[in-house]
């Protein structure tokens, strides 16, 4: 009996090990695909932004500026948020490869440049980080992503004062700095969407038991 029980335990252990290996390989593959997608989509977003800037400058009769020298600053960000209407807060969305994007997120400390989809679903999160809630002008933007290494897998390593930059599809650049981090329960939705911070980033820990959360405010 002991011999039989031992064989069963060994078999179960082998199955668990195999399952863990398969899951690890699957996650790695998903991570690689996500990284490849970002590398493909970000240049397209940059091209769309440059085109939008050129059209705006041509319409206003101003000479086109050299890309990258002086980033646009959204004049609406100077208006107190309580005076903005919901229409004022809306973000421009552009379709690329069947998905709608609102801009790019740059995290220099992690060497990340990521496209951001306008809304989220589980299938979309496999492709790109997504907006969970809020807007830049509303000073309550919340972005979520899987814990892929190429997405938000390392945001727990961000330190106070680290820069985070969001560029919207109109070319407006908003710079933030990290002001806090936390690990929350999955049900802590109100904490994430409270609007206490200008920008919030979050991802799940491995196993999905908690949410790694990073809080940012505008510089």
Is 0.75 surpassed by the pTM of this model? yes
Q: Count Cα atoms within 13 angstroms, Cβ side, for 110.
A: 23
Q: Which domains does the chain have, with CATH numbers?
A: 2-218 (2.40.260.10)
List, in sequence order, every residue forming a beta bridge with 168; answer none if it has no partner. 103
Q: Is the pLDDT of residue 21 over 60?
A: no
Residues 6+ apart with CB under 8 A from 159: 109, 178
CB atoms within 10 A of CB 180: 13
**What is the tens place of the pLDDT at every residue in 171-187?**
999 999 999 999 999 88
* Mean pLDDT to the nearest integer, 72-101: 88
Given pLDDT bands bounded at 50, 70 and 90, which one contains residue 18?
Answer: low
At 37 the pLDDT is 82
Alpha helices in 95-155 (DSSP H): 122-125
Return mean pLDDT, the chain: 85
Q: Which helix (H) or strand (E) holds 38?
A: helix 2-59
**What is the tens place of the pLDDT at every residue in 95-117?**
999 999 999 999 999 999 999 99
């Amino acid at each position: 009996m002991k011999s039989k029980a031992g064989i069963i335990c060994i078999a179960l252990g082998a199955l668990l090990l195999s399952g863990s290996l398969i899951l690890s390989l699957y996650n790695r593959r998903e991570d690689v695909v996500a990284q490849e997608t970002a590398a493909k989509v970000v240049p397209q977003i940059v091209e769309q932004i440059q085109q939008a800037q050129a059209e705006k400058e041509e319409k206003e009769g101003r000479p086109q500026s050299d890309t990258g020298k002086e980033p646009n600053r959204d004049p609406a960000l100077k208006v107190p948020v309580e005076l903005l209407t919901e229409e004022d807060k809306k973000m421009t969305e552009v379709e690329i490869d069947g998905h709608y994007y609102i801009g790019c997120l740059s995290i220099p400390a992690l060497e990340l440049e990521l496209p951001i989809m306008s809304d989220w679903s589980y299938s979309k999160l496999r492709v790109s980080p997504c907006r969970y809630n809020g807007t830049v002008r509303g000073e309550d933007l919340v972005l979520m992503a899987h814990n892929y290494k190429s997405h938000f897998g390392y945001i727990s390593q961000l330190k106070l004062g680290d820069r985070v930059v969001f560029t919207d599809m109109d070319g407006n650049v908003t710079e933030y700095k990290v002001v806090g981090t936390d690990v929350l329960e999955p049900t802590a939705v109100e904490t994430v969407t409270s609007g206490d911070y200008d920008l919030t980033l979050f991802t799940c820990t491995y196993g999905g038991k908690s949410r790694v959360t990073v809080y940012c405010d505008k510089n």
